[in-house]
Structure 1
Amino acid sequence: MVKLIALYKKPENPQAFDEHYGNVHAPLARKMPGLKKLEVTKIYGAPMGESPYYLLAEMYFESKEALNAAMASAEGKAAAKDLMGFAGNLVTMMLGEVTEE
C-alpha cells in the first residue's frame, strides 16, 4: 500500500481554510479513483509546544500504479487544481510506501 501525504502549514484564516477543505477539497479528493482511505489529522501541538503545521492528510492507494492513475485522472487533476488555488503556498506533498512493523 502507498499513500499521498499532504502537510499543511497554519493558514492565515483557519476558519476559511476549514470550510474550503471540508466542503470543497476533501469531496474532490474522495472522488479520485482507487482511493482506499482518506485520513485527516488536525494538528494541535508538538511535544515541545506549538507546531507550525495545521493539518495532515493521508490518502491511501493499493499501489504506486493506482496512485499514479488517480493523480492522472480527471478527478485527480481537479483536486490538484483546487489545492493549488486555496493552499498552494501552505502545502508540502510527499509519497510513501506503507509498511507494518
Structure 2
Amino acid sequence: MTVKLIALYRKPDDVNAFLDHYHNVHMPLVAKTPHLMKAVVNSVIGSPMGEPPYFLMTEMYFADALKFDEAMKSPENRAAGKDLMGFAKSLVTLIIVEED
C-alpha cells in the first residue's frame, strides 16, 4: 500500500524567497531520498470554506511502509529535514498517510 508524506505549508511573509529556496535548495535535497517514487508539489488556489490555511502542499510517495521507514532513517532524508527546519519550521505541518 502506497505511503505518502505530505507537507502542508502556511504562507510565508516573503513568498518569492520561500519558493526560491524551496524549489532550488530543498526539493533537490528531497529528490535524493532513497525509495522516493515521486514528489508532487501543489499550489493551493482556494478553499470552498474561505481563505485556505495553506498555500503549498507537497506529496512524497513511497511504495510501502517499510520503504518509507527506511527512507526516513536515511542520511539524505536527515539532510532534507535539517534544511526544512532551517527555513520552514514555523510554517510546515507534516502528515503520513496510506492510500486506500
| Per-residue deviation, 1:50 | 2.1
Secondary structure of 1:40 counterpart: strand
Q: Quote the residue 1:32 is aligned against.
A: 33
Note if 1:70 corresponds to 2:75: no
Q: Quote the residue 1:43 is aligned against.
A: 44
Secondary structure of 2:56 counterpart: strand
Q: TM-score, normalised by structure 2?
A: 0.95
Q: Which amino acid aligns with 1:45?
A: G
Q: Quote the residue 1:93 is aligned against.
A: 94
| Per-residue deviation, 1:43 | 0.7
Secondary structure of 1:35 counterpart: coil
| Per-residue deviation, 1:49 | 3.3
1:77-101 deviation digits (Å, cap 9, x = unpaired): 00000000000100000001012xx
Q: Between the two proteins, what is the percent identity of the paired residues?
A: 53
Q: TM-score, normalised by structure 1?
A: 0.94
Secondary structure of 2:67 counterpart: helix
Query: RMSD in angstroms over aligned alpha carbons?
Result: 0.8
Q: Quote the residue 2:4 is aligned against.
A: 3
Secondary structure of 1:92 counterpart: strand
Q: Pick the structure with more strand per residue.
A: 1
Q: Which amino acid aligns with 1:79?
A: A
Q: Quote the residue 2:21 is aligned against.
A: 20
Uncovered stretches (5+) of structure 2, i.e. residues with no partner: none
Secondary structure of 1:83 counterpart: helix
